[in-house]
Amino acid sequence: MVQKSILVDSLAVPPKHLLSLDPGKATGYAIFENGLPTKHMGIIRGLDEFDDFLSNYVQTFGMPDIVVFENFKLFSWKAKQQSGSPMEASQVIGEIKFWAKLLGIPVVEQSPQILSVAVKWSKLELPKNHDNSHHISAYNHGWYRDWE
C-alpha cells in the first residue's frame, strides 16, 4: 500500500517536514525541512528503541507532512540466509505504516535500487561499513524525490 501523494520537483514546493527512514534492526533516519536536510539524522538500534523514537517523534521534532522509507522484499536467493530471522525490517515497516496511518501522514515506499541515483544527486556516499550507513541511506531516500 503505497500512497504517492506529493510531487516534489524543481517546480513544486517541497514538504515542510519530511521524515526519511531506512528500516531494519538498525534503523536510520533523516529529517528534511522545506526540501533541505536538517542536522537531525542518526541510527536507532533495536526495535524497542524504534518504538520509543516513533512514540516521541511528534513531541520532539514536530508532525511530518510525509514519511519516506526503503521497502524490503525477501528474494528467494536470500531466503536461506534469512531463515530463522525475526525480520526486523518487516517489523519496523509495519510500525511505520501503522504510526503514519494513525496520524494521517502519507507514506512513500522506495526501492533500495534508487540509492545509486540518490547518491549522485545528494553527493553523500554510503560508508563502506554497513553498520554505520543506515542514516546515510535514510538521507539519500529523503533526497531522492521522484514521486508521482
DSSP 95-133: HHHHHHHHHT--EEEE-GGGHHHHHHHH--PPPSSGGG-
pLDDT classification of 81: cutoffs 50, 70, 90: low
Question: In this predicted structure, what is the pLDDT of residue 63?
Answer: 97
**Strand ranges inside 7-89, DSSP E:** 17-22, 26-33, 36-45, 66-70
Cα 50 off chain centre by: 12
Question: In this predicted structure, what is the pLDDT of residue 80?
Answer: 52
Question: In this predicted structure, what is the pLDDT of residue 121?
Answer: 75
Cα 42 off chain centre by: 11
Q: Give the 3-state secondary structure percentages of the chain, helix then strand then coil, rounded to 5.
A: 40, 20, 40
Instruction: Say what percent of the chain tops pLDDT 70.
Output: 79
C-alpha 99/C-alpha 108 separation (Å) is: 14
Supply 123's cell numbers: 553527493
Which amino acid would we find at residue 139?
Answer: Y
